[in-house]
Structure 1
């Protein structure tokens, strides 16, 4: 395997937000505050406070600690963005999103990192593999419709993308003590041909 093909980028190591959330902070650390956000400017002009929504932790504290330890087994390795952690942190003073991610390359399978998908719990691993397979089918249907709209032959689009790389990113947004000051995911553009977004 060509290591250049498998390298999708890198990110500086930073604390996972889930761990910060477990510390029951009263205030958001400055690195996560986004005063430049349009949302924040609007909120600052309104004369009301946010209702306090109770957060119910369904896990005992020792279970939460165990879950974080389990996730840490899949932490991103230095110089790689695949795994559990944060993507695209490139300098120490960079503002951070209030989110953690799990990012994996799902296709082609020969580029799969051995410390990631093969080591996941079987039910989770199977779910990822089935979901990725169905997404590939959906993506090809969308691309063929795009080909039709562009007056291309569907086969031409299939030739261009059938053997392309496919990845999956799962974002987790832990409870935040000051949600009006942060963003879960900063506005951005994806540098891929097609993004299929599932929001829950």
Structure 2
């Protein structure tokens, strides 16, 4: 997935713009134009695709290049779906509920693929990769680059770095099941 995503973001802008995200849709390729509270620009490109349930897929936004990228997205998303379902079952048990309780609370388990790319910036002190936020989901499963830090989680009032672990996924508990 990492190799295919790198090849996609290395494509000329004209090629990526063929699947650009329209203003009224979250799916497709695009640049972030959000500002943080301090009015610092987000500095990233993203490819966002709804993958499950498949009836929500808008295949016109699925890249046709690089060759084989669609198949890589499909295989990766299928495995993330499997892992996500296992995690929700485990969380249900840990929270003292029946094994499929959290899965059962979702009429449909929605899964979106978001691939972020952070191009080099000549003024890094004036930009953010992404604005601080919470995930409005149940869980988020993240794949980080092995040797590139950047992900942070909020612990109390502080932002703490999540150092990448080679060949590991990071699981964030989203707003839906956050325990306060």
Deviates more, 1:181-190 or 1:68-77: 181-190
**Bigger Cα Rg:** 1
Structure 1's 195 and 185: CA in aligned 2 closer, same or farther, altered over 3 A? same
Residue-by-residue CA offset, 1:85-140 (whole Å, 9 max, x unaligned)? 135749xxx64201111101001111111311274555100011111110011011
Q: Which runs of 5+ in 1 are unaligned?
A: 1-63
| Counterparts of 2:105 and 2:65, CA distance in 1 | 31
TM-score (structure 1 length as normaliser)? 0.60
2:143 equivalent in structure 1 = 198
Counting matched residue pairs gives: 134
Give the secondary-structure state (helix, strand or coil) at the position aligned to 2:140.
coil
Is residue 2:77 matched to residue 1:97?
Answer: no
Q: Spell out structure 1 runs of 4+ moving beyond 6 A.
A: none
Residue of structure 1 in register with 2:73 after alignment: 128
Distance 2:24 2:31 in 1: 12
Structure 2 unaligned spans of 5+: 1-8, 146-180
More helix by share: 1
Find the residue that maps to 1:106 and give its secondary structure: strand
- CA distance in 2 between partners of 1:116 and 1:124 (Å): 12
Please show how residues 1-200 of structure 1 align to structure 2 within 5 Å: 67-86=12-31, 89=34, 95-117=40-62, 119=64, 121-161=66-106, 163-200=108-145
Q: What's the TM-score once normalised by structure 2's chain length?
A: 0.66
Question: Which shows bigger deviation, 138-147 or 114-123?
Answer: 114-123
